[in-house]
Structure 1
Amino acid sequence: MTDALTGLPAFSFQWPSMLWLLALVLLLTGAYVWLDARRRRASVPYPTLKTVGLAIRGGARWRRHVAPALMLLALTALIVAIARPQAVMMLPSRIETVVLVIDLSGSMRAQDVQPSRIRAAQRAAKTLLDAQPAGVSVGVVAMAGTAALAQAPIRRKEDVATVIDNLKPQGGTAIGNGLLIALTTLLPQLGSDAAQLLDDDDSPAKAAASRKAAKGQQASPGSTGGADAAKPGSYAAGAIVLFSDGESNAGPAAMQAAQLAAANGVRVYTVGVGTTEGVVLTVDGWSARVKLDEQVLKQVADATGGEYFRLEDANRLKQVYRALNARLAFDKRDQVEITAFFAALGALLAACAGMLSLWWFGRVV
């Protein structure tokens, strides 16, 4: 995943020159150690009083160091706060819409993932659906030899789950079509751009040539969007999740759709369903070995700032869903000032020092 903040330090300060004040903490620490040693020397000429004091106070000698130590830590935290620290953190992306693209091609009938690829994809989609917050709208795109919006984005999870359950395998695979339909569902203003890609790919020969050209190279993010192209992954309001075995044989190349998504900042997360070894599938007397084509799925995810996941075993369904849901929920890196944290920490340590001193010795430090 590309990120504009990758080169920034994980922790930095806006006013680093203020950190010189930490020398004051060292001076105060040295002064406290010197005064404590001086008090100890002063008690030597009066061994009787020293013995009485130890008998009265017992094991509480260490307590007199706790409050000063906490005060020094509080001062350190406040000085760090003055330097205005900032950190690069993962923040909620405030995602509003998720469009699920589910591959319904004939190869999704294969049972190298139990009970079958299509059923495993449906289960994964429904698990991801259930994990979305109530305010997130979820849509479904059915993808086979062509693609169509099976369910417009809505917040009623039960309706979306019903649509997912009713999806049936068909013929052909048009990953590019599926991505374009999902993309225009998120950003309707891209309808003309998507239509142009579809019109430019009106013949099987042209489609094959386009896919062959895209197969050997990584799409350059933002290359379709011109000078005003957004950074890949910068669109935080929505995302696309593609469940497929990656074998595309119709429509525009998947990388063409990925370039358009990248140019508009839309992330596409891809989930590969199946095994790379594949399995021999027999349908209506026709037999062929169908394998998981990870290359195109990885390229689509990388080009758009998303991530690729592999679902080759139904037992790993929860693991994949947790990782994917975590990306959807927290997928925005930003540099955040954390001065308030250190200021609050300093105030808390100072308050604890005062209360403990008052409790043990009847005075505030």
Structure 2
Amino acid sequence: MTLPLLGPVSLTGFQHIWWFVLFLVVVAGLVGFYLVVQRSRRRRLQQFANTELLDSVSSKRPSKWRHIPAALLAISLLLCTIALAGPTHDQRLPRNRAVVMLAIDVSQSMRATDVEPNRLAAAQEASKQFVDELTPGINLGVIAYAGTATVLVSPTTNRDASRRAIDNLQVADRTATGEAIFTALSSISTVAAVIGGGDEPPPARIVLFSDGKETAPSNPDNPKGAFTAARTAKDQGVPISTISFGTPNGSVEVNGERVPVPVDSEMMEKVAQLSDGESYTASNIAELNKVYSTLQDQIGYETVRGEATTGWLRLGALVAALAALASLLINRRLPL
């Protein structure tokens, strides 16, 4: 929870839990002492005063509202106790050292018009939107793959280069998914060696976009196959997010004949599973934009534990001020 001017005041963990326990006992002791004093005062009054005469002289008994300042003061002490215990909260921060490789399938099946105007054109439009919305500090690279894989843009924060590369995609024969993954891993290793800024390599991700299964090689478990590459990605700590794009009704014209090219999600799902990544499907550009938006949110930000002491201190000070004000208005004196 975040309050205006107060900042985060969540209770998701403490850095100094023993301080919290200690001061909580102190606050509880003060509250108990206040209750004992009030009861003792009432007993002395009943012991030494003539209640019938007191009722005739005093027109009304003390109001129960007189306890509000003390209650507010106790709450203020509790809030300050929480602050001293070092509360923390989750902070969502943009990544600055991450590396993302966007590998786009440009095989002949991407000419299918089951997605208007065709699969490749729709992929280009959605991919450029993904590039524009990705966190600026992320190093993004672009790979086009068909029978071979080509690095069009090495990982960089220059989004114009990535957009131009996506605009210039051209279809080619066959689909070498495994080679695309190995090429992406090589680019990630190269840029990780020069980024620096930490004791560990920067976090990396491969976004693999395709409409069908691998055709070169025919066996994905071959040394250069997709499944072998996915296992290598897992070993290197690089998850693969796969996007299967298209419908079962896709077809392309080859030598004057219509050849069915239905989307095949099975291989892409297995690639994601083997690499500890996630698999997504999209049958139109609206669904594709939604997938890319989800990936942008996952890739572009990280959740870290942050300090939340300031918000609790401010809240405690505010309640203490309210206690003083209530005491002046109700009891005509400060709650001391």
One fold, TM greater than 0.5? Answer: yes
Kept in 1, the 8 Å contact 2:77–2:316? The answer is: yes
Q: Deviation digits for residues 72-123 of structure 1, max 9, x if unmatched?
A: 2333344445555566776544344322110111222223333322223222
Q: Equivalent residue of 2:150, what SS?
A: strand
Structure 1 Cα separation of the partners of residues 232 and 86 of structure 2: 40
Query: Residues 361 and 122 of structure 1: is their aligned pair in 2 closer, same or farther, counting only changes over 3 Å?
Result: farther
Find the counterpart in structure 1 of residue 271 from structure 2: 300
CA drift of 1:177 comes to: 0.8
Q: Equivalent residue of 2:151, what SS?
A: strand
CA drift of 1:314 comes to: 1.7
Kept in 1, the 8 Å contact 2:251–2:259? The answer is: yes
Q: Equivalent residue of 2:120, what SS?
A: helix
Q: Pick from 314, 317, 339 the counterpart of residue 285 of structure 2.
A: 314
Q: Which runs of 5+ in 2 are unaligned?
A: 1-10, 193-199, 218-223
CA drift of 1:328 comes to: 0.6
Q: Equivalent residue of 1:187, what SS?
A: helix
Q: Equivalent residue of 1:148, what SS?
A: strand
Find the counterpart in structure 1 of residue 240 from structure 2: 268
Find the counterpart in structure 1 of residue 211 from structure 2: 245
**Equivalent residue runs for 1:137-286 within 5 Å:** 137-188=139-190, 236-251=202-217, 252-275=224-247, 277-286=248-257
Q: Equivalent residue of 2:233, what SS?
A: helix
Kept in 2, the 8 Å contact 1:93–1:237? The answer is: no
Query: Residues 26 and 302 of structure 1: is their aligned pair in 2 closer, same or farther, counting only changes over 3 Å?
Result: farther
User: Which deviates the most, 67-76 or 125-134?
Assistant: 67-76
Kept in 1, the 8 Å contact 2:104–2:210? The answer is: yes
Computing the radius of gyration over CA atoms, which structure comes out larger, 1 or 2?
2
Find the counterpart in structure 2 of residue 116 from structure 1: 118
Structure 2 Cα separation of the partners of residues 250 and 117 of structure 1: 21
Letter of the aligned partner of 1:264 in structure 2? Answer: Q
Q: Equivalent residue of 2:126, what SS?
A: helix
Is structure 2 residue 319 aligned with structure 1 residue 330? no
Structure 2 Cα separation of the partners of residues 47 and 317 of structure 1: 83
Query: Residues 357 and 159 of structure 1: is their aligned pair in 2 closer, same or farther, counting only changes over 3 Å?
Result: farther
Is structure 2 residue 79 aligned with structure 1 residue 72? no
Q: Equivalent residue of 2:281, what SS?
A: strand
Structure 2 Cα separation of the partners of residues 235 and 246 of structure 1: 32
CA drift of 1:291 comes to: 3.0
Structure 2 Cα separation of the partners of residues 69 and 284 of structure 1: 86
Q: Deviation digits for residues 248-302 of structure 1, max 9, x if unmatched?
A: 1114221221222222222322222123x34344332454433333233233333
Find the counterpart in structure 1 of residue 260 from structure 2: 289
Kept in 1, the 8 Å contact 2:97–2:139? The answer is: no
Q: Equivalent residue of 1:168, what SS?
A: coil
Letter of the aligned partner of 1:149 in structure 2? Answer: V
Structure 2 Cα separation of the partners of residues 118 and 267 of structure 1: 24
Kept in 1, the 8 Å contact 2:135–2:300? The answer is: no
Q: Equivalent residue of 2:241, what SS?
A: strand
* Structure 2 length-normalised TM: 0.73
Number of corresponding residues: 304
Find the counterpart in structure 2 of residue 129 from structure 1: 131
Find the counterpart in structure 1 of residue 7 from structure 2: none
Structure 2 Cα separation of the partners of residues 135 and 189 of structure 1: 14
Kept in 2, the 8 Å contact 1:142–1:149? The answer is: yes
Kept in 1, the 8 Å contact 2:15–2:88? The answer is: yes
Query: Residues 90 and 156 of structure 1: is their aligned pair in 2 closer, same or farther, counting only changes over 3 Å?
Result: closer
CA drift of 1:31 comes to: 4.5
Letter of the aligned partner of 1:322 in structure 2? Answer: S
Once superposed, what is the RMSD of the aligned Cα atoms? Answer: 3.7
Kept in 1, the 8 Å contact 2:89–2:308? The answer is: yes
Structure 2 Cα separation of the partners of residues 118 and 144 of structure 1: 13
Letter of the aligned partner of 1:138 in structure 2? Answer: L
Q: Equivalent residue of 2:213, what SS?
A: coil
Structure 2 Cα separation of the partners of residues 18 and 361 of structure 1: 33
CA drift of 1:318 comes to: 3.6
Q: Deviation digits for residues 96-153 of structure 1, max 9, x if unmatched?
A: 4322110111222223333322223222211110112333332210011111111223
Query: Residues 287 and 37 of structure 1: is their aligned pair in 2 closer, same or farther, counting only changes over 3 Å?
Result: farther
Structure 1 Cα separation of the partners of residues 56 and 255 of structure 2: 104
User: Which deviates the most, 317-326 or 10-19?
Assistant: 10-19
Kept in 2, the 8 Å contact 1:87–1:338? The answer is: yes
Structure 1 Cα separation of the partners of residues 267 and 169 of structure 2: 23
Structure 2 Cα separation of the partners of residues 47 and 160 of structure 1: 90
Q: Equivalent residue of 1:269, what SS?
A: strand
Structure 1 Cα separation of the partners of residues 274 and 56 of structure 2: 79
Query: Residues 357 and 290 of structure 1: is their aligned pair in 2 closer, same or farther, counting only changes over 3 Å?
Result: farther
Structure 2 Cα separation of the partners of residues 178 and 109 of structure 1: 20
CA drift of 1:311 comes to: 1.7
Kept in 1, the 8 Å contact 2:148–2:179? The answer is: yes
Letter of the aligned partner of 2:216 in structure 1? Answer: A
Structure 1 Cα separation of the partners of residues 331 and 85 of structure 2: 34
Percent identity over paired residues: 33
